[in-house]
Amino acid sequence: MQRREFLNILAGTAVAMLMLPLNALAAIWNKAAFEASKLEEATKNLAINGEIPSKDIEIIAPDRAENGAIVQIEITSRIPNTEAMSVFVEHNPTALIGNFMFSNGALPYLVTRIKMAETSDVKIIVKAGDKYYTNSKAVEVLENGCG
Amino acid sequence: MDSNMKMRAKLTGDVTEVKLIISHPMETGRKKDDAGQLIPAHFIQLVTANLNDKPVLEVQWGTGISKNPYLTFHLKGAKVGDKITVTWHDNLGKTASGEVAVVQA
In a domain, A147, yes or no: no
Q: How does pLDDT run across A63-93, given as a tens digit for each residue?
A: 999 999 999 999 999 999 999 999 999 999 9
Q: Count structural domains, chain B.
A: 1
Confidence at A143, pLDDT banded by 50, 70, 90: confident
In a domain, A64, yes or no: yes
Q: How far is CA B28 from CA A53, A97, B6, in A?
A: 31, 12, 23
Which of B46, B77, B91 is the closest to A105 by Cβ?
B77
Q: Count structural domains, chain A.
A: 1
Domain range for B68: 5-104
CA distance B19 to chain A (A): 9
Report the phi/psi class of residue A13: left, alpha or beta, with left for phi > 0 and alpha for psi in -120 to 50: alpha
Residues of chain A in contact with residue B72, where contact means CB-CB under 8 angstroms, are: 74, 109-112
Q: Kindly state whether A141 is in contact with chain B, defined as any CB-CB distance less than 8 angstroms.
A: no
Report the phi/psi class of residue A22: left, alpha or beta, with left for phi > 0 and alpha for psi in -120 to 50: alpha
In a domain, A60, yes or no: yes
pLDDT at A22: 46
Which H/E stretch holds residue A138? strand A131-141
Is the complex ipTM more than 0.90? yes
CATH number at residue A136: 2.60.40.2470
CATH number at residue B45: 2.60.40.10
Residues of chain B in contact with residue A14, where contact means CB-CB under 8 angstroms, are: 48, 55, 58
Amino acid letter, B36:
G
CA distance A131 to chain B (A): 20
In a domain, A121, yes or no: yes
Domain range for A94: 2-141
Does B72 sit within 8 Å of A112, measured CB to CB?
Answer: yes
Contact B47, B16 (CB under 8 A): no
Contact B45, B89 (CB under 8 A): yes
Q: Kindly state whether A106 is in contact with chain B, defined as any CB-CB distance less than 8 angstroms.
A: yes
Q: How does pLDDT run across B58-70, given as a tens digit for each residue?
A: 999 999 999 999 9
Per-residue pLDDT for A20 more than 70?
A: no
CA distance B36 to chain A (A): 13
Q: What percent of chain A has pLDDT over 70?
A: 80
In a domain, A146, yes or no: no
DSSP per position, A81-108 = TEEEEEEEETTSSS-EEEEEEE-TTB-S
Q: Buried b vs exposed e over A10-37: b needs ≥16 C-beta within 10 Å?
A: bbebbeebeeeeeeebeebbbeebbebe
Q: How does pLDDT run across A119-135, given as a tens digit for each residue?
A: 999 999 999 999 999 99
Q: Kindly state whether A8 is in contact with chain B, defined as any CB-CB distance less than 8 angstroms.
A: no
Instruction: List, in sequence order, every residue forming a beta bridge with B76; answer none if it has no partner.
Output: B15
Q: How far is CA B63 from CA A5, A102, B60, in A?
A: 23, 21, 10
Contact A96, B65 (CB under 8 A): no
Confidence at B1, pLDDT banded by 50, 70, 90: very low
CA A65/CA A62 separation, integer angstroms: 6
Instruction: Report pTM.
Output: 0.88
pLDDT at A28: 77
- The mean pLDDT of A1-19, rounded to a whole number, is 54
Per-residue pLDDT for B53 more than 80?
A: yes
